[in-house]
């Protein structure tokens, strides 16, 4: 299961189409996504940094400091290209970032790479 935190319904649908061979569950706001993460841990989290309702940097930090989520890769989606952003995301524990409206082949390649990381075991439930 892949969780997608994305407020734009067009991008949600485009992502579902792109990842059609994978199960994708979409969330339009941070609190709903974070609440569901407490019930089930996905194999991958795609997180738009413009997701409303919860600071996405705080969400990444909370998830990565919780050992249940340590192996879960997080790929951030952001149109911003501000200096220091990649380093900040890396320090927080994200595996990378892409533009949400960027090259769909790059997104697909990143998702496949992150899902195939060796030696990572994914718990099904956050208990």
At 118, the pLDDT band (50, 70, 90 cuts) reads low
Domain extents in the chain = 2-115
Tokens (6 digits) for 94: 């994200």
Q: Which superfamily does CATH assign the domain made up of 2-115 to?
A: Response regulator (3.40.50.2300)
Q: Is 93 left (phi over 0), alpha (psi -120 to 50) or beta?
A: left
Q: What is the per-residue pLDDT for 71? A: 87
Secondary structure in 3-state letters for 9-61: HHHHHHHHHHCCCCCEEEECCHHHHHHHHCCECCCEEEEECCCCCCCHHHHHH
**Of residues 60, 5, 68, the one with CA closest to residue 32:** 5
Collapse the DSSP code of 88 into the 3-class scheme (helix H, G, I; strand E, B; otherwise coil) and give the result.
helix
Q: What is the pLDDT of residue 27?
A: 97
Q: Model confidence at 124, in pLDDT bands (50, 70, 90)?
A: very low
Whether residue 101 is predicted with pLDDT greater than 90 in this model: the reply is no
């Amino acid at each position: 299961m892949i969780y997608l935190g994305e407020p734009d319904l067009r991008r949600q649908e485009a992502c579902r189409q792109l990842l059609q061979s994978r199960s994708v569950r979409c969330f339009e706001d941070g609190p709903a996504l974070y609440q569901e993460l407490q019930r089930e841990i996905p194999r991958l989290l795609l997180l738009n940094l413009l997701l409303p309702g919860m600071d996405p940097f705080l969400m990444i930090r909370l998830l990565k400091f919780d050992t249940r989520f340590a192996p879960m890769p997080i790929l951030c989606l952001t149109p911003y290209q501000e200096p220091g952003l990649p380093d900040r995301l890396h320090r927080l524990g994200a595996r990378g970032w892409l533009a949400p409206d960027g090259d769909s082949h790059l997104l697909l390649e990143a998702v496949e790479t992150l899902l195939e990381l060796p030696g990572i075991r994914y718990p099904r439930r956050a208990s």
